[in-house]
């Protein structure tokens, strides 16, 4: 029953690819039918959490384009989303890249972690550029929600002038 690394499950290989920014391994894993892009490790971290934590930008982009990718999974330890982790990245350029990628993929800026904090609470005070990105995403989400609510109010045939008054 001795297995080497090649005996790792598809989901274990997915997490390893995210940890090491191994694009070649990730693309191999994407070909497997038993892939669960939202698979969580023992701490509840998905490949997306891990890619963000390790600054694995090549792998991150592939994960975000996977049709089943949940961009807002929460881990068990801190109830943190990948966006919570991205805003805590030390390097300002890497932080901006990670946050921008997650926001473009539709990350929710209002998810609260176990401390009741949204990702914005973890941003360094002097990072005005990333704060602006998050505020823009919040504004766009607000507008989108208003549009959806308005669309629900429209009933088929109401105010259509379909000739119901013509006799």
Burial class (CB in 10 A: 0-12, 13-18, 19+), 80: buried
Average pLDDT, the chain: 88
84-142: per-residue pLDDT in tens? 999 999 999 999 999 999 999 999 999 999 999 999 999 999 999 999 999 999 998 88
Q: What is the pLDDT of residues 50-93, one digit of tens each?
A: 999 999 999 999 999 999 999 999 999 999 999 999 999 999 99
- Report how far apart, in Å, the C-alpha atoms of 84 and of each of 26, 39, 52, 121, 128 are: 24, 19, 10, 9, 17
| Whole-structure pTM value | 0.82
- The confidence score (pLDDT) of residue 167 equals 43
| pLDDT at residue 165 is higher than 60 | no
pLDDT in tens, 2-24: 333 467 899 999 999 999 999 99
- What is the rounded CA–CA span in Å between residue 135 and residue 155? 33
What are the structural domain ranges in the chain? Answer: 9-143
- CATH topology (fold) of 9-143: 1.25.40
């Amino acid at each position: 029953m001795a297995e080497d690394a090649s005996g790792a499950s598809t989901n274990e290989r997915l997490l390893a690819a995210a940890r090491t920014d191994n694009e070649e391994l990730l693309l191999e894993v994407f070909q497997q039918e038993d892939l669960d892009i939202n698979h969580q490790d023992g701490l509840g971290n998905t490949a997306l959490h891990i890619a963000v934590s390790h600054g694995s930008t090549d792998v991150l982009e592939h994960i975000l384009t996977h049709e089943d990718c949940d961009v807002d999974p929460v881990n068990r330890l801190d109830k943190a989303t990948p966006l919570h982790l991205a805003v805590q990245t030390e390097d300002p350029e890497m932080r901006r890249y990670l946050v921008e990628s997650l926001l473009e993929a539709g990350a929710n800026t209002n998810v609260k972690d176990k401390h009741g904090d949204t990702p914005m609470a973890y941003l360094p005070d002097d990072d005005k550029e990333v704060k602006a990105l998050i505020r823009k995403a919040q504004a766009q989400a607000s507008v989108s929600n208003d549009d959806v609510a308005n669309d629900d109010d429209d009933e088929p045939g109401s105010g259509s002038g379909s000739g119901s008054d013509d006799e």
